[in-house]
């Protein structure tokens, strides 16, 4: 499970930023918003947050946090396959002053197979300058599994013959962790795989004007076609959302796609069709004619299903989760995930960007989100962003979070000028 995402000199974050999923004591005695994870050698489980919402003005750094997670995942997944002269695409340093040519730092603290790891990378446009993997033991001490500075590698894993060989000669734009995962799997175990699952970005379907065999080739339709449990769950959610949907069908189709002169391939696609209630009976509507809100909920469905049904720990990062969704619907979805699911059934974690303050509209002890689940972003006069939690404000638990946020008590609001001709 995810403990912390951190970084420095990435995008609009010139200085260090940290997004912590460790639950604080803001709501003692309550399991609302909590997921527990066991750690080897520790009698008490770690209490982590099921969800974190990021609020703030436009262009204040919210989406940059999502991109930081996506960038770290891309590096771990792709760096070992890059050509020797290929650039590292997540290299997006702060655009002003000396920082624009300095290394970017991205890191994560995570529980993988009941052990806590701290993994950090620093990189320039086409090379890694630093890489570190530590095992954070329950006694408070850290074991350095490997530490790479430039092309020099040290650490406990150097005692392994396979690791010694792979760390003798490698490309500057390759990651040691990815190489070890590929070439020394018995040593690296599932660490790289586990970390990748904890920095998963949510991907929406292709644009609605793409050809049908692309736009309908969605994860949702494919899942509904092949997984009856998911199909039943999806139909239940669509009915509960008051969208007028009474049934659904997911069908497999074939299409011939031209790939060149006198060349073609047969592509498989999956098409979702929803049946709606009407005055004289139910009737189907082509999926392309469904409302944006319906399609948005359908897009989110596989992610939401996996967060509550997949036995493998993972965390998902979603930008603008409230896009096209009515505030009451989003509130209901988040209340179920964060508050209704029993502690022993909570599995995944959700980090999302939103402007929907209805999730805050109650006394802090009763709101959908706990205070430590609310993060804010704002920029200073130099354009540098800051990420911080509402839990940093020492307040009573009976104050209305939405009212105080919109009153400017926590910052992270736009300072509007006059819209004049």
pLDDT at residue 208 in the model: 52
210 pLDDT more than 70: no
CA-CA distance, 93 to 112, in Å (whole number)?
Answer: 29
Confidence label for 279 from pLDDT (cuts 50, 70 and 90): confident
pLDDT at residue 81 in the model: 79
Task: Give how far Cα 67 sits from Cα of 71, 81, 202, Å.
Answer: 6, 21, 11
CA-CA distance, 66 to 144, in Å (whole number)?
Answer: 28
What is the reported pTM?
0.94
Of the candidates 72, 301, 80, the one whose C-alpha atom is nearest the C-alpha of residue 200 is 72
328 pLDDT more than 80: yes
pLDDT (mean) for 229-255:
93
Q: Is pLDDT larger for residue 289 or for residue 132?
A: 132
pLDDT at residue 211 in the model: 61
Confidence label for 212 from pLDDT (cuts 50, 70 and 90): low
- DSSP-assigned letters across all residues of 208-262: TTS-HHHHT--HHHHHHHH-HHHHHHHHHHHHHTTSSEEEEEEEEEEEEEEEETT
pLDDT at residue 91 in the model: 96
Q: Report strand pairing: 283-285 vs 263-276.
A: antiparallel
Whether CATH 3.30.70 fits 1-198+313-421: no
Kindly give the interhelix angle for 228-240 and 292-309, rounded to the nearest 10 degrees: 130
pLDDT at residue 265 in the model: 85
Which range, 122-131, 166-175, 197-206, is most confident? 122-131
pLDDT at residue 137 in the model: 94
- Where exactly are the structural domains of the chain? 1-198+313-421, 206-305
Cα-trace Rg, the chain: 23
pLDDT at residue 213 in the model: 53
CA-CA distance, 220 to 341, in Å (whole number)?
Answer: 23
3-state secondary structure 316-371: EEECCCCCCCCHHHHHHHHHHHHHHCCHHHCCCEEEEECCCHHHHCCECCCCCCCH
- Condensed to tens digits (0 to 9), the pLDDT of residues 93-118 reads 999 888 888 999 999 999 999 999 99
């Amino acid at each position: 499970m995810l403990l912390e995402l951190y970084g420095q000199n990435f995008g609009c974050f010139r200085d260090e930023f940290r997004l912590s999923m460790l639950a604080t004591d803001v709501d003692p005695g309550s399991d609302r918003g909590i997921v527990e994870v066991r750690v080897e050698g520790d009698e008490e489980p770690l209490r982590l947050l099921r969800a974190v919402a990021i609020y703030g003005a436009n262009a204040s750094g919210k989406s940059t946090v999502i991109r930081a997670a996506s960038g770290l995942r891309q590096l771990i997944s792709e760096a070992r396959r890059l050509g020797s002269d290929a650039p590292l695409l997540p290299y997006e340093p702060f655009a002003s002053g000396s920082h624009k040519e300095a290394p970017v730092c991205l890191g994560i603290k995570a529980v993988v197979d009941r052990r806590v790891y701290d993994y950090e990378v620093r990189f320039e446009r086409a090379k890694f300058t630093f890489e570190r993997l530590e095992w954070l033991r329950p006694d408070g001490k850290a074991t350095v599994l490997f530490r790479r500075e430039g092309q020099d590698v040290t650490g406990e894993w150097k005692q392994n013959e396979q690791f010694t060989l792979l760390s003798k000669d490698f490309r500057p734009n390759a990651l040691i962790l990815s190489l070890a995962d590929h070439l020394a799997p018995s040593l690296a175990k599932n660490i790289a795989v586990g970390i990748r699952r904890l920095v998963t970005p949510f991907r929406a379907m292709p644009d609605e004007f793409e050809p049908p065999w692309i736009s309908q080739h969605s994860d949702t339709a494919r899942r509904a076609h092949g997984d009856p449990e998911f199909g039943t769950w999806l139909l239940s959610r669509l009915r509960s959302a008051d969208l007028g949907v009474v049934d659904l069908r997911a069908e497999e189709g074939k299409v011939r796609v031209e790939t060149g002169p006198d060349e073609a391939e047969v592509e498989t696609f999956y098409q979702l069709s929803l049946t709606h209630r009407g005055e004289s009976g139910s009737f189907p509507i082509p999926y392309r004619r469904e409302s944006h809100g319906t399609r948005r909920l359908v897009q989110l469905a596989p992610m939401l299903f996996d967060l509550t049904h997949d036995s493998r720990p993972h965390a998902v990062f979603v930008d603008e989760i409230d896009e096209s969704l009515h505030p009451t619907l989003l509130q209901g979805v988040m209340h179920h995930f964060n508050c209704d699911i029993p502690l022993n059934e909570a599995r995944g974690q959700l980090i999302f960007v939103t402007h929907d303050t209805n999730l805050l509209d109650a006394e802090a002890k009763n709101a959908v989100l706990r205070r430590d689940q609310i993060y804010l972003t704002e920029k200073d006069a130099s354009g540098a962003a800051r990420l911080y939690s509402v839990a940093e404000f020492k307040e009573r638990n009976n104050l209305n979070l939405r009212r105080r946020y919109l009153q400017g008590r926590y910052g992270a609001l736009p300072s509007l000028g006059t819209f004049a001709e």
